[in-house]
């Protein structure tokens, strides 16, 4: 996510009125009421939702089980674009510190959180999640979005100074996430049959952005949306559940599959750029968040950017290109424009090869 993004998207501030609405959800104001959208699409029941794949990092790293586990990883990325990663081997204290700091930040009084409020024309900071400029509905969440690494525009002033351990915790956590992403990419490269260096090089040193979300409980969970259905525009997303409240739903075959957060696991998903890099072998899946009537939910999502020599394009060696190459900055702008229009930018990058395959 390039942060200035020629803002066709906007983020609304969390005002006193918004905070009051979140605190007492007896009456849902019009701007948050979207019962038709909540009811849009079939949500599968408990049994089927257990189909969402699990991948075990310890098994990936163990030579005895690596091949079988890498095949699971591959099919998760092809068929679902989502999986839960168990035994991820992250530094437990880095994870716990990030969780504690996220919780403490969202618990602060509004004026303290608004010390890092979004600024006009930027995506970073504390506020509502972004919506298309023409979308008059708001998500039932407060979100803190920050550039973390390799971003010349990283605005450290927007990294909260309160709680006092926040910056340290985020810095450590962001490094843990970059190395985990790279460990996973090794197995993805061999699964799709490209040089390890080719995929690693596409992610190495690229931008990383974090989005922390807090979804307050809502007495009318059937009327509001935690996060509007979307595809993630960047390369790879790594999501940490701070608590065990469910809410994330993944779309597959036109139906919504609620993800049941496994204690201690991370949720990993393929973003649109990884879909392009893999020439469509991996899919970036649409997802959304619904909210809980009783329990709040907090998540920390790390987005890893990727490009090949400044462009978004399929890696060589994966057959005829199904997507045309596009300069990274143009990609980011196009992605935001599409978000506003309610379309999907990667679709507009499809070449005749992809179009022809569709018709077969």
Ligand X SMILES: O=C(O)CCC(=O)C(=O)O
What one-character-per-residue DSSP string does 24-45 give?
A: --SS--GGG--HHHHTSSEEP-
Q: Is the dihedral of CA 254, 258, 263, 264 positive or negative?
A: positive
Nearest distance from C-beta of residue 64 to ligand X, angstroms: 34
Residue 287 sits in the site that holds ligand X (CB under 6 A) = yes
Decide: 299 and 243 in contact? Cβ < 8 Å. Answer: no
Residue 56 sits in the site that holds ligand X (CB under 6 A) = no
Residue 139 sits in the site that holds ligand X (CB under 6 A) = no
Q: Which of residues 192-211 bind ligand X (CB under 6 A)?
A: 211
| Contact pick of 14, 248, 276, 306 for ligand X (by CB under 6 A) | 248
Residue 299 sits in the site that holds ligand X (CB under 6 A) = yes
Nearest distance from C-beta of residue 62 to ligand X, angstroms: 30
Total residues contacting ligand X by CB under 6 A comes to 11
Q: Would you give the DSSP letter of residue 158? A: G
Nearest distance from C-beta of residue 11 to ligand X, angstroms: 13
Q: The tokens of 94 are what?
A: 């880095």
Q: Which of residues 202-261 bind Fe ion (CB under 5 A)?
A: 232
Query: What's the N-to-C CA distance of the chain in angstroms?
Result: 35
Cβ within 8 Å of residue 270, ≥6 positions away: 77, 81, 82, 236, 282, 283, 284, 285
Residue 304 sits in the site that holds ligand X (CB under 6 A) = no
Nearest distance from C-beta of residue 47 to ligand X, angstroms: 22
Q: Which among 185, 278, 160, 159 is positioned nearest to 238, based on CA atoms?
A: 185
| Contact pick of 170, 227, 240, 321 for ligand X (by CB under 6 A) | 227
Determine the distance from the C-alpha atom of residue 352 to the mean position of all C-alpha atoms in its chain, rounded to a whole number.
29
Which of ligand X, Fe ion, none does residue 299 bind to, with CB < 5 to 8 Å depending on kind? Answer: ligand X
> Which residues contact ligand X by CB under 6 A?
211, 213, 227, 232, 239, 247-248, 287, 289, 299, 301
> Which residues contact Fe ion by CB under 5 A?
232
């Amino acid at each position: 996510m390039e942060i200035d993004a020629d803002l066709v998207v906007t983020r609304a501030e969390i005002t006193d009125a918004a905070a009051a609405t979140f605190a007492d959800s007896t009456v849902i104001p019009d701007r948050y009421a979207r019962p038709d959208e909540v009811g849009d699409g079939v949500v599968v029941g408990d049994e089927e939702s257990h189909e969402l794949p699990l991948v075990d990092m310890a098994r990936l790293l163990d030579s005895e089980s690596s091949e079988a586990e890498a095949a699971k990883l591959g099919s998760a990325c092809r068929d679902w674009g989502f999986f839960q990663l168990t035994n991820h081997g992250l530094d437990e204290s880095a994870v716990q510190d990030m969780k504690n700091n996220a919780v403490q930040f969202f618990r602060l009084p509004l004026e303290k959180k608004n010390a890092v409020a979004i600024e006009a024309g930027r995506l970073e900071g504390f506020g509502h999640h972004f919506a298309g400029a023409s979308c008059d509905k708001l998500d039932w969440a407060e979100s803190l979005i920050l550039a973390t690494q390799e971003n010349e525009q990283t605005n450290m002033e927007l990294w909260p100074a309160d709680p006092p351990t926040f910056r340290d915790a985020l810095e450590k956590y962001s490094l843990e996430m970059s190395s985990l992403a790279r460990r996973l990419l090794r197995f993805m490269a061999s699964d799709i049959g490209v040089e390890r260096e080719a995929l690693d090089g596409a992610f190495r040193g690229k931008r990383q952005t974090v989005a922390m979300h807090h979804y307050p409980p809502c007495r009318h969970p059937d009327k509001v949306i935690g996060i509007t259905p979307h595809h993630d525009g960047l390369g790879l997303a790594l999501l940490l559940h701070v608590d065990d409240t469910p809410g994330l739903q993944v779309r597959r075959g036109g139906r919504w599959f609620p993800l049941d957060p496994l204690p201690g696991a991370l949720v990993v998903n393929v973003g649109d750029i990884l879909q392009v890099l893999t020439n469509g072998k991996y899919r970036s899946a649409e997802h959304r968040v619904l909210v809980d009537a009783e329990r709040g939910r907090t998540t920390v999502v790390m987005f890893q950017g990727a490009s090949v020599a400044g462009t978004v394009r399929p890696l060589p060696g994966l057959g005829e290109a199904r997507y045309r190459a596009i300069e990274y900055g143009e990609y980011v702008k196009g992605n935001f424009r599409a978000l506003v229009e309610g379309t999907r930018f990667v679709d507009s990058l499809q070449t005749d090869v992809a179009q022809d395959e569709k018709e077969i």
